[in-house]
């Protein structure tokens, strides 16, 4: 697998620009949900307890795989918004090296996008849990 174009910071800057163009939160949340619609379906055998992300308002499954020196992530959710949130994280993190993932300040990135403020507390906690699972995969590598 080839690396995603640009750095994590460059990908974040593109997302910030897209979010700014969308204006209000209704448009931004709709955009996040649309991102989720683009996720490839997760096979049933990957929808196991070991792949579930705890602390999410909905069921979220996240699978990591090593491709050379990079980690790729695949995910799904039974909620459109949670699926969109995890798709956004995959856009940032999938195809990156563990070092890139661990060096990136996800909390600051999500704050720049304004996501935690737009979500309920439980969904924001779930988003943090998704980031935690991605970081744990990078640490375990």
Q: What's the gap between Cα 66 and its chain centre?
A: 17
Instruction: Bin 101: left if φ > 0, else alpha if -120 < ψ < 50, else beta.
Output: alpha
> Mind telling me the catalytic residues?
56
Helix (H, G, I), strand (E, B) or coil at 2: coil
């Amino acid at each position: 697998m080839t690396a995603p174009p640009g750095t994590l910071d460059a990908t974040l800057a593109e997302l910030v620009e897209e979010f700014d163009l969308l204006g209000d939160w209704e448009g931004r949340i709709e955009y996040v949900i649309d991102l989720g619609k683009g996720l490839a379906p997760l096979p049933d055998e990957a929808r196991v307890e070991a792949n579930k992300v705890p602390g999410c308002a909905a069921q979220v499954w996240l699978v990591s795989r090593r491709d050379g020196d990079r980690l790729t992530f695949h995910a799904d959710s039974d909620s459109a918004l949670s699926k969109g949130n995890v798709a956004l994280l995959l856009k940032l993190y999938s195809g990156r090296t563990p070092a890139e993932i661990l060096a990136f300040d996800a909390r600051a990135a999500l704050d720049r996008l304004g996501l935690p403020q737009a979500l309920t507390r439980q969904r924001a906690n779930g988003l943090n849990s998704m980031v935690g699972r991605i970081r744990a995969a990078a640490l375990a590598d």
